[in-house]
Structure 1
Amino acid sequence: MATLLHIDSAALPAGGSTSREVTQAFRENWLAQHPEGTVVYRDLAAQPLPHLDAVGIAAGFADPSTHDDAQREAMALRNELAAELEAADVVLIGAPMYNLSIPSTLKAWLDQVIIMGRTAGENSTVVGKKVVVVASRGGAYGAGTPREGLDYVTPFLQGVLGALMQLDVHVITPELTLAKVNPAMSELIPLAEASREQALAEAADKAKELAALIAA
């Protein structure tokens, strides 16, 4: 049975979040191909994870047989998240840009799920797993724009998910999402709508493509 791990991190709820809209489009198209499939869903805004602390860090590098009660509790959460990631056939992550980077809730998930010697490092247990990241952003950060070079979402996630964890990362980038609510960007609304439609279409296509790979 195919399993999708779906993670949203947008602070805004459905209806007000472009990243949630696009991840939902991916999920719906995925389930259309795998109606019997399983979706493991984590809404990190509604149910945030604790940030990794000294106890959790120490537990990740210590022999489990030496763990005290606090370390066992901390490691139980890290193992749960790692197991979810390992069991997934495909991972879907909504990662809107907040102040040029990712939401702190998503960073908390990453810090908890990255376990050196298990999900990260030379012998990663998730090597090659397909990950689709919806990296929405309020403005434009591509080549030739005034904010070129200030996108710290995509490079960071490609580094962490790709280089460190050895996942196979595909990024969908709906941009100019603030055009409708920022009067100074009103002339960019047509471009924003085009970017949104392209992201929705790309999400649908990618979901069908990955679903077909699992079925094969």
Structure 2
Amino acid sequence: MTTIFRLDASIRAQGSVTRAVADTLQGELIARLGQASVVARDIGLSPLPAHAWAGAVFAPHVPAEQRSVEQKEGLALGTLLADELLNADAYVFALPFYNFGVSQHFKAYVDILLTEPRFAPGQPQLIGGRPAHLIIARGGGYGPGTPRHGWDHGTAWYQRVLGDILGLDLATTEVELTLADTNPAMEGLRGLAAENLAQGHAHASQSAGVLAQRLQG
């Protein structure tokens, strides 16, 4: 049976665009595959422990019998995160864009994962080439000609980590202007925002079909 790993990093339980678009992709993918298992990790609503990274970093330099509780927990968490990725056939990463940059929860996830010996920098890319889909949502507009052009300090980092460091065969769906409905200053952009969101869902659905064909092939 095909195993899909899904990671959500939005701090919103309701009203999250990344969650909604990921739901579209996942639903279409499962429908096309017929049988599939989804392993979900929600680091937005259930953040990883703040001490885990330091524990995982320093534990290998301390004799096993002298390790602190935090160090043991950090090592165990790194092993768990690595196993989740290694045991999956494909991946969905639903990652928001916060304050012009990456989700702190996903940054912590990556920091802990890269302490695990199997995913340490310089090691073979054990999940390299496997298919993955990145879903990004940004509250404003950041393209050429917009007031915030050049302020997107998150998308490239997400793609660098997933595509270059982990070696995943990465596709991306991006949605912008997600704050238009709630920000009075963006009222004039609400029509464009709705169109952009619809396109995001359509792209996710289409991408699910491509991903299903690959997994079935």
- TM-score, normalised to structure 1, is 0.90
CA distance in 1, matches of 2:126, 2:67: 26
8 Å CA contact 2:138–2:178 kept in 1: the answer is: yes
Q: Which residue of 1 aligns with 2:198?
A: 197
8 Å CA contact 1:135–1:154 kept in 2: the answer is: yes
Deviation of 1:93 after TM superposition, in Å, equals 1.1
Q: Which residue of 1 aligns with 2:156?
A: 155
CA separation of 1:132 and 1:96: change in aligned 2, threshold 3 A: same
CA distance in 2, matches of 1:90, 1:40: 10
* CA-to-aligned-CA distance 1:135-173 (integer Å, 9 cap, x gap): 100101112211111111111111222222222222211
Deviation of 1:48 after TM superposition, in Å, equals 1.1
Q: Which residue of 1 aligns with 2:187?
A: 186
8 Å CA contact 1:127–1:165 kept in 2: the answer is: yes
CA separation of 1:130 and 1:64: change in aligned 2, threshold 3 A: farther
CA distance in 1, matches of 2:63, 2:197: 47
Q: Which residue of 1 aligns with 2:19?
A: 20
CA separation of 1:55 and 1:43: change in aligned 2, threshold 3 A: closer
Q: Which residue of 1 aligns with 2:130?
A: 129
Aligned pairs (5 A) from 1:1-216: 1-14=1-14, 16-51=15-50, 52-59=52-59, 68=67, 70=69, 71-115=71-115, 117-122=117-122, 123-216=124-217
| 1:76 partner SS | helix
One-letter amino acid of the counterpart of residue 208, structure 1:
G
CA distance in 1, matches of 2:43, 2:18: 13
CA distance in 2, matches of 1:24, 1:140: 23
RMSD (Å) for aligned C-alpha atoms? 2.0
8 Å CA contact 1:95–1:136 kept in 2: the answer is: yes
One-letter amino acid of the counterpart of residue 96, structure 2:
P
One-letter amino acid of the counterpart of residue 196, structure 1:
L
Deviation of 1:126 after TM superposition, in Å, equals 1.5
Deviation of 1:63 after TM superposition, in Å, equals 9.5
Q: Relative to structure 2, which stretch is displaced further, 63-72 or 189-198?
A: 63-72
CA distance in 2, matches of 1:10, 1:73: 24
One-letter amino acid of the counterpart of residue 108, structure 1:
A
Q: Relative to structure 2, which stretch is displaced further, 109-118 or 81-90?
A: 109-118
Moved over 4 A (4+): 61-67
Unpaired stretches in structure 2, ≥5 consecutive residues: none
| Identity among equivalent pairs (%) | 34
8 Å CA contact 2:2–2:37 kept in 1: the answer is: yes
8 Å CA contact 2:130–2:169 kept in 1: the answer is: yes
Deviation of 1:2 after TM superposition, in Å, equals 0.8
One-letter amino acid of the counterpart of residue 135, structure 1:
I
Unpaired stretches in structure 1, ≥5 consecutive residues: none
Equivalent pairs counted in the alignment come to 214
